[in-house]
Amino acid sequence: MHATGTGFDGTELAVSPEIGTWLEHRSGRADDWTAADLVTAKRGRTVSVVIPARDEDETVGGIVRTIRTELVEREPLVDEILVVDSHSQDATAEVAADAGAAVVAQDDVLPALPRHRGKGDALWKGLAASHGDLVVFVDGDLYDFTAGYVTGLLGPLLTRPDVDYVKGFYHRPLAGEGRREVDGGGRVTELVARPLLNMFWPQLSGFVQPLAGEYAGRREVLEAIPFVTHYGVEIGHLIDLVEWRGLDALAQVDLGHRTHRHQTTQALGRMSAQIILTMLDRLTRHGRLSMPVPPATLLAQFQRSVTGPGSGVERDLVLTDLTLEERDPLAAVTRDTGDAGGGDVAAPTSECGGALRRTA
């Protein structure tokens, strides 16, 4: 890998040797492994693919069919395809089931627990409702998904016992409404997540796509970490895992290209705030930041008024509660409740000056 950059004094800049070594031996490519190779490497282990899907009836069916055709029927690599219907208002559940997936409604999993909304909660519910020894997470809004996403993510997990968690990376065009920026995607990654990770967890700076929605892990590891209930889930995983298992237990695989349905800038503003709050929470948890005054958790955004001219600012206020909530490690929840069925949950604890409200 070629690195460029000079400091103010003209010296060549370089990443730490730890990152250089990690990039060398913990970065792979999807075509390093074939599905047939991985079927042999399974050696009795089982694989689940979990797809969180909120209003994805345009894309989720194609993703499920590709996995079923190539990685269930043609090569028995995947044992379970589970779509978590995350409060969809469209035909996501029907389309996913017609394509051959098992489908579970987010709120139907562990129904005795407090209900949450959000992607992270959908993922945690998918982990709870699935059974594979290895779990692959794939977003449901992908336009160019290939089976190589799954084989690439499984490759390190099935062939390197010292790897616990694998992130995908890819080129990410920003496409839509007649525009296409070849590497314009991953806006929150480039504007928020990467700068903050480089500042506070530089050991994670080798991840090309730290927020990638495609990743995989060993069940026992995934069940031992919390899941932030909203879009902070990915950054929360990376930080928690590098702090717990170390950088060498993590890997990344080049999956080529990824195009997906893009959210509005304001939606990404809310996502950014959730990611920032997650990082502040982790900095506090690890004793690296003291916040006598916790961050406020109300986000006020402005949008063109739909209610007609009002007083002063002719805009509508869009208010979002950013309170950081997370699911406790699944293993702890099922151990405490005695089964996956529910029962009382751990009392909410408040950390980080109230910015964190944790429920099981």
Ligand X SMILES: O=C(O)[C@@H](COP(=O)(O)O)O[C@H]1O[C@H](CO)[C@@H](O)[C@H](O)[C@H]1O
Ligand Y SMILES: O=c1ccn([C@@H]2O[C@H](COP(=O)(O)OP(=O)(O)O)[C@@H](O)[C@H]2O)c(=O)[nH]1
CA count, 13 A, side-chain hemisphere, 328: 19
Q: Does 139 bind ligand X (CB under 6 A)?
A: yes
The bridge status of strand 80-85 relative to strand 47-53 is: parallel
233-244 vs 265-285: helix crossing angle, rounded to 10:
30
- Return d(Cα 171, Cα 169) in angstroms, integer: 7
Token pair belonging to 61: 């069916």
CB atoms within 10 A of CB 149: 27
Q: Does 140 bind ligand X (CB under 6 A)?
A: no
53 binds, among ligand X, ligand Y, none (CB under 5 to 8 A by kind): ligand Y
Q: Would you give the binding string for ligand X spanning residues 5-44, x where CB under 6 A is met?
A: ----------------------------------------
Nearest-approach distance from CB 42 to ligand X, in angstroms:
26
**Radius of gyration over alpha carbons of the chain, in Å?**
21
Nearer to ligand Y, 56 or 70 (CB): 56
Triad 350, 351, 352: Cα angle to 5°: 135
Is the four-CA dihedral 147, 172, 243, 113 of positive or negative sign? Answer: negative
Nearest-approach distance from CB 212 to ligand Y, in angstroms:
9
Task: Give the number of residues in contact with ligand X, rule: CB under 6 A.
Answer: 18
Q: Would you give the binding string for ligand X spanning residues 251-290, x where CB under 6 A is met?
A: ---------x-xx----x--x-------------------
Q: Does 213 bind ligand X (CB under 6 A)?
A: yes
Q: Does 223 bind ligand X (CB under 6 A)?
A: no
Q: Does 126 bind ligand X (CB under 6 A)?
A: no
Nearest-approach distance from CB 105 to ligand Y, in angstroms:
11
* Residue given tokens 């029962």 in the structure block: 343
| Chain centroid, CA 2 distance in Å | 28
Please report, as ranges, the residues that interact with ligand Y according to CB under 6 A.
Answer: 52-54, 56, 86, 117-119, 122, 139-141, 213, 260-261, 263
CA of 36: how far to CAs of 31, 71, 137, in Å?
Answer: 12, 9, 21
**Which residues lie near ligand X (CB under 6 A)?**
119, 139, 172, 174, 185-189, 211, 213, 231, 234, 260, 262-263, 268, 271
